[in-house]
Chains A and B, each alone.
Chain A
Amino acid sequence: MSLRSPRVLLTIAPLLTPIAVLASQQAALASTAPSIRIPFEKYSLSNGLTVVLSEDHTTPTVAVEVIYHVGSKNEVIGHTGFAHMFEHVMFTGSGHVPYGTHDKFTEGVGGTNNGQTSFDWTRYWETDPSNYLETALWLESDRMGFLLDSLDDAKFRAQRDIVKNERRQSYDNQPYNRDGEVIRLAMYPSTNPYSWSTIGGMTDLTNATVEDVKQFFRLYYAPNNATLAIVGDIDPKQTRAWVAKYFGDIPRGKPITRPNVAPSPLSSEKRLTFEDRVQIPRLFIQWPSVNMHSEDQPALDLLTDILAGSRIARLTKALVYDAQSAASVNAFQNPSENVGELAIIATPRPGHTLTELETQIDSVIARFKREGPTAEELSRVKAGQQLQFLNGLQSNLGKAFQLAEDQTFFNDPSYTFRIAYPKTQAVTAADIKRVANKYLGSARVVLSNVPLGKPEMASHADKSTVVTDPFTEKTTSEAKP
């Protein structure tokens, strides 16, 4: 995901994942159960804007978020990275809000603001002292309704340069960070919008025009494609009145056409080598998995924790502690709206090879597929989720994110704690064994990130094809160290 500003020090951590409760913990949880929910009210304006309000008077602050159901998935070939570039344009002022005013009435009054773009959504938020709620609604509504009125070519070009710098800073100048781009291209055909990253390709970024901005805005930035979440020290009645005042007269847009995305067609193993400006190689294995709506999502989420979530997780224990061949191992399941991927990333200790790591990882997984998890393994990975959830309830912004995202993709702001939580709670050892066997098969991409000029360091180098990242700036030389 890509952010407007790197200077706001964001700690983004997985949170509010579905809660798990062990049967043996039911009694203990009974006393806390009433707290494990986010109280909210949901309604719609006649222009199609969905509004979710949640009161919390712990501190005199408020979080305002607008999430639009559009992301890099809605881009087309030749225009990669555009959804995120557009996000930057949303901070350049709008019809009645001159440039700089947005920051003045957020950071400049003791609040924060930022934007973020994923494959499936783009969200914008402000946190403010609660006496500035009306101002925040004025700011957000103006760019939803009147962005194009103040748009000019110079403003757009400036943001385009900044986004290109962001690509350089976060991808091209970061060791290992282009692995994800290379592996996506192997996983999906180039016509699949999940085959490129949210930041997009440097050539496409350079070619973007102000006309593209206008078209994109008219297509996707309409109230009927957005959810507004307001969480914190609010008076719901007054808040409803302000929402009606500022958002009510923004016209409804045309119905949105969503791309029809096929799952990854990968049917066998692909082996790739990517030469990077690194000294230590890294192994990245990725399987096609499931999207956020799949019944298998909760079990896959727990599976990655069992594999690499702690020092006694299967892969960590085997590679980092027992064989001591790896410095680190990570695993994650990344479900998007239409597709998903499950990945394992391992970094070797000096003196150990990627081939060795791959063999060991395969051996651990093969055994796990035969045995499934132990009861204790399952208990362990479920046990932390209650605390994570409760901790998340302390953040207005965290709650706004949860409510708005659940509304956008499940038409239910309470989806996570009302539906996903019991589902995760009900995951069995047999479920996890089943999904491990179903998804961790031979159709996968094995990517070796190796130092420049050393393709022989790839895992099973003789079977691996050296590839480049076509999204990188062409003038960036891959000089030999």
Chain B
Amino acid sequence: MIPRIVRAPGSRGALLVALIAASSLSAPARQASAQQAKSKSASFDRRIVPTAGKTPELRVPTWTKLALSNGAQLIVSEKHGLPLVSFQINFVGGADQYEPATKTGLANFVASMLTEGTTHRTGDQISNDLQLLGTSVGTQIGAESGRMAFLSTKDKFGPTLAILADLLENPTFPADALERLRSRVIVGLTQNRDRTAGIANAVFPKVLYTTDHPYGRVTTEASVKAITRDDLVAFYKSYFQPGHAVITVVGDVKADDVKQTIEKALAGWAAGGSPPSFAYPPAPAPKATTIYLVDKPGAAQSTFAMGEVGPPRDTPDYYALRVMNEMLGVLFQSRLNHNIREVKGYSYGVGSGFAFGRGPGAFRAGGEIVTAKSDSALIEFMKELRDIRGPRPPSDDEMAQAKASLVQSLPANFASVNGINGSIASIYTQGLPEDYYKQFARAIGAVTKEDVVRVAQRYIDPDHLAIVIVGDRAKIEGPLAATKIAPIVWLDIDGNPIANKVTP
């Protein structure tokens, strides 16, 4: 067996030990009586939940802020013990700020092409040189931020940084590499259309935002075919600029030493650029709840993606929304998963989430549903979305678990140099206050049940949902229509309406 590792996710909350312990002691009596004999034979009563020790104090890593002569910010957080260094150049802004509307996918192309050749190295040489250093340089550009990054051993930090500088400053964007990449991406897009989840991921944003809004645009064969080498060069020149860059270094380094090393390695990276505007066009007005059905003949399950336009990350309701969503669709025992998976058995797992971007990102709930239960599952989704708005307010136990889950999970993010680096970098790329993690713990702790109900009422509107369902239409359309939850509109697998196919 090849040894494997699992990295657990991060991010959790304030602890109400008493509440949790009390509620778990109210376990069904049937369990206790069945166990009497065995419990007595032991030297202790196994029915009693052990008392947890004192909650560990939240220790957030500290860092030093410096600046490079070209204007890039430099953040260094020292973590000694293992000879590792995590390095990232983070860019504020991403594809939504720098990509032309008709060239969706361009940012990813540029990111991939940085390792295809520089004025000093061919693509093969880049691969060879990095492998010999035992590392790789990854470049990713998301919707609203991007980064070039590597993890290295301490002794390989300088040589790896030198290669990163070459990729950053001297890429050549060879034309043949562009065609190779284009072909590979088109194969991936084609394969994506064979998966119900892949189709839903492309159709849901389009239905909600339309392609007039950056949040509604996805990479398509047409947008990929429109990308030229000139586009790559133009994007590269405007994006890879120190004026909107934050370099974060975490690991077995000294702040002053590392500043000098980086100044020297990036001496050729000239000043320029500035943080972008994050102004988004308004999202389309909400429409009455509609089921958008995409036919996937023979599908073994239906993929559900339902939701609406949500608030931006900087909403004052952020913390209440995190607590609300934790109990609605994040925790394993959250309402959606508990009901639809565990009680009803309609799925292998369902959930919900808010995108929380700089603009009005989506609220989305869903999962994969067994074909024959698509109608029943939709009824349960609607029930849970309505119930959290007031008919079934949060219990003490739900509040305690949601908060603890959000706050007490924070330390797990600070275990590795990459985890610390990501935690620090996101503060700067998302424009958050520098004491964010301390604030987070306090703000989550302050959320009340009333807050949860209030934000559910404000941001979850069961009467204005876009419900995208991708599945075997012949089997699910009739039952879905019979629920009378909403009219059904047929879409093709690209999310375009199919004429005259409306089930009233």
Bound together, the chains give a CA A96 to CA B15 distance in angstroms of 23
Q: Mark B37-74, 1 if CB is under 8 A from A, else 0.
A: 01101111011011111111101000000000000000
Chain A min CB distance to B4 (Å): 5
Q: Are B416 and A110 in contact (CB under 8 A)?
A: no
Q: Are A478 and B134 in contact (CB under 8 A)?
A: no
How many chain A residues touch B (CB < 8 A): the figure is: 126
Q: Are B5 and A162 in contact (CB under 8 A)?
A: no
Query: Which residues on B sit within 8 Å (CB–CB) of A409?
Result: 1
- Other-chain residue from A13, A381, A396, A479 in contact with B298 (beta carbon distance below 8 A): A479
Q: Are B400 and A127 in contact (CB under 8 A)?
A: no
Chain A min CB distance to B368 (Å): 5
Q: Are B153 and A390 in contact (CB under 8 A)?
A: yes
Q: Are B333 and A107 in contact (CB under 8 A)?
A: yes
B435 at the interface (CB under 8 A from A): no
Query: Which residues on B sit within 8 Å (CB–CB) of A132?
Result: 52-53
Bound together, the chains give a CA A140 to CA B137 distance in angstroms of 40
Query: Which residues on B sit within 8 Å (CB–CB) of A162?
Result: 341-342, 345, 347-348
Q: Are B415 and A279 in contact (CB under 8 A)?
A: no
Q: Mark A374-395, 1 if CB is under 8 A from B, else 0.
A: 0010011101111100111111
B35 at the interface (CB under 8 A from A): yes
Q: Are A104 and B300 in contact (CB under 8 A)?
A: no
Query: Which residues on B sit within 8 Å (CB–CB) of A11?
Result: 6-7
Bound together, the chains give a CA A127 to CA B412 distance in angstroms of 9
Stretch at the interface among A75-83, A142-150, A264-272: A142-150
Stretch at the interface among B79-87, B240-248, B282-290: B79-87
Q: Are A110 and B127 in contact (CB under 8 A)?
A: no
Stretch at the interface among B178-186, B306-314, B448-456: B178-186
B119 at the interface (CB under 8 A from A): no
A61 at the interface (CB under 8 A from B): yes
Stretch at the interface among B99-107, B191-199, B222-230, B270-278: B191-199
Q: Are B131 and A310 in contact (CB under 8 A)?
A: yes
Chain B min CB distance to A389 (Å): 10
Most chain A beta-carbon neighbours within 10 Å: one of B12, B13, B123: B12
Q: Mark B413-425, 1 if CB is under 8 A from A, else 0.
A: 0111111000000
Q: Are A146 and B38 in contact (CB under 8 A)?
A: yes
Bound together, the chains give a CA A310 to CA B416 distance in angstroms of 26
A215 at the interface (CB under 8 A from B): no
Query: Which residues on B sit within 8 Å (CB–CB) of A14?
Result: 2-4
Known: A162-B345, A312-B124, A401-B3. A383 touches B183 (CB 8 A): no
A451 and chain B: residue at smallest CB distance: B194
Q: Are A131 and B35 in contact (CB under 8 A)?
A: no
Chain A min CB distance to B81 (Å): 7
Q: Are B153 and A135 in contact (CB under 8 A)?
A: no
Query: Which residues on A sit within 8 Å (CB–CB) of B84?
Result: 387, 390-391, 394
Q: Mark A446-481, 1 if CB is under 8 A from B, else 0.
A: 000000000000000000000000000100111111
Chain B min CB distance to A142 (Å): 6
A17 at the interface (CB under 8 A from B): yes
Known: A100-B333, A104-B333, A350-B186. A320 touches B180 (CB 8 A): yes
B179 and chain A: residue at smallest CB distance: A324
Q: Mark B137-163, 1 if CB is under 8 A from A, else 0.
A: 000000000000001111110000000
A112 at the interface (CB under 8 A from B): yes
B187 at the interface (CB under 8 A from A): yes
Most chain B beta-carbon neighbours within 10 Å: one of A95, A173, A280: A173
Stretch at the interface among B20-28, B212-220, B354-362: B20-28
Query: Which residues on A sit within 8 Å (CB–CB) of B8?
Result: 8, 10, 112, 127, 397
Bound together, the chains give a CA A334 to CA B1 distance in angstroms of 7
Chain B min CB distance to A258 (Å): 15
Bound together, the chains give a CA A120 to CA B1 distance in angstroms of 8
Most chain B beta-carbon neighbours within 10 Å: one of A8, A108, A109, A165: A108
Q: Are A138 and B50 in contact (CB under 8 A)?
A: yes
Query: Which residues on B sit within 8 Å (CB–CB) of A12?
Result: 4-6
Bound together, the chains give a CA A107 to CA B326 distance in angstroms of 10
Q: Are B15 and A280 in contact (CB under 8 A)?
A: no
B88 at the interface (CB under 8 A from A): no
Chain A min CB distance to B223 (Å): 17
Q: Are B6 and A10 in contact (CB under 8 A)?
A: yes
Chain B min CB distance to A146 (Å): 7
Q: Are B1 and A8 in contact (CB under 8 A)?
A: no
A203 at the interface (CB under 8 A from B): no
Query: Which residues on A sit within 8 Å (CB–CB) of B155?
Result: 28, 31-32
A7 at the interface (CB under 8 A from B): yes
Bound together, the chains give a CA A107 to CA B327 distance in angstroms of 11
Bound together, the chains give a CA A476 to CA B299 distance in angstroms of 8
- Other-chain residue from B44, B342, B411, B417 in contact with A245 (beta carbon distance below 8 A): B44
Give the secondary structure class of B's interface: mixed
Q: Are A129 and B408 in contact (CB under 8 A)?
A: yes
| In the complex, chain A residues 353-406 whose Cβ is within 8 Å of any chain B Cβ | 376, 379-381, 383-387, 390-398, 401-402, 405-406
Most chain A beta-carbon neighbours within 10 Å: one of B51, B81, B191, B414: B191
A348 and chain B: residue at smallest CB distance: B187
Q: Are B24 and A121 in contact (CB under 8 A)?
A: no
Query: Which residues on B sit within 8 Å (CB–CB) of A257?
Result: none
A5 at the interface (CB under 8 A from B): yes
B429 at the interface (CB under 8 A from A): no
Query: Which residues on A sit within 8 Å (CB–CB) of B370?
Result: 164-165, 168
Q: Are B411 and A394 in contact (CB under 8 A)?
A: no
Query: Which residues on B sit within 8 Å (CB–CB) of A150?
Result: 31, 34
A16 at the interface (CB under 8 A from B): yes
Known: A175-B195, A385-B134. A395 touches B415 (CB 8 A): yes
- Other-chain residue from A96, A170, A406 in contact with B46 (beta carbon distance below 8 A): A96
B404 at the interface (CB under 8 A from A): yes
B194 and chain A: residue at smallest CB distance: A175
Q: Are B411 and A109 in contact (CB under 8 A)?
A: no
Q: Are A175 and B191 in contact (CB under 8 A)?
A: yes
A277 at the interface (CB under 8 A from B): yes
B116 and chain A: residue at smallest CB distance: A311
Bound together, the chains give a CA A103 to CA B331 distance in angstroms of 8
A161 at the interface (CB under 8 A from B): yes
Known: A165-B348, A279-B194. A393 touches B1 (CB 8 A): no
A158 at the interface (CB under 8 A from B): yes
Chain A min CB distance to B478 (Å): 17
Query: Which residues on A sit within 8 Å (CB–CB) of B132?
Result: 376, 379-380, 383
- Other-chain residue from B345, B397, B405, B416 in contact with A107 (beta carbon distance below 8 A): B405
Q: Mark A66-110, 1 if CB is under 8 A from B, else 0.
A: 000000000000000000000000000101101011011101111
A292 at the interface (CB under 8 A from B): yes
Q: Mark B451-470, 1 if CB is under 8 A from A, else 0.
A: 00000000000000000000
Q: Are A393 and B82 in contact (CB under 8 A)?
A: yes
A134 at the interface (CB under 8 A from B): yes
Q: Are B38 and A280 in contact (CB under 8 A)?
A: no
Chain B min CB distance to A86 (Å): 17
| In the complex, chain B residues 298-345 whose Cβ is within 8 Å of any chain A Cβ | 298-301, 330-333, 337, 341-343, 345
Known: A105-B49, A278-B191. A59 touches B297 (CB 8 A): no
Query: Which residues on A sit within 8 Å (CB–CB) of B411?
Result: 59-61, 129
- Other-chain residue from B35, B59, B81, B404 in contact with A149 (beta carbon distance below 8 A): B35
3 A-B pairs with least C-beta separation: A110-B408, A60-B56, A161-B345
Binding site for A on B (CB under 8 A): 1-9, 12-13, 15, 20, 24, 27-28, 31-32, 34-35, 38-39, 41-44, 46-47, 49-57, 59, 81-84, 123-124, 127-128, 131-135, 151-156, 180, 183-184, 186-188, 190-191, 193-196, 297-301, 330-333, 337, 341-343, 345-349, 351, 368, 370, 397, 400-401, 404-412, 414-419, 472
7 contacts between A and B (CB under 8 A): A7-B330, A7-B332, A135-B50, A158-B343, A169-B300, A169-B368, A376-B132
Known: A5-B349, A108-B400, A321-B180. 17 other contacts (CB 8 A): A5-B332, A15-B5, A16-B3, A35-B83, A96-B31, A114-B6, A130-B53, A131-B55, A132-B53, A162-B348, A168-B300, A245-B44, A311-B123, A384-B135, A405-B1, A479-B297, A481-B298
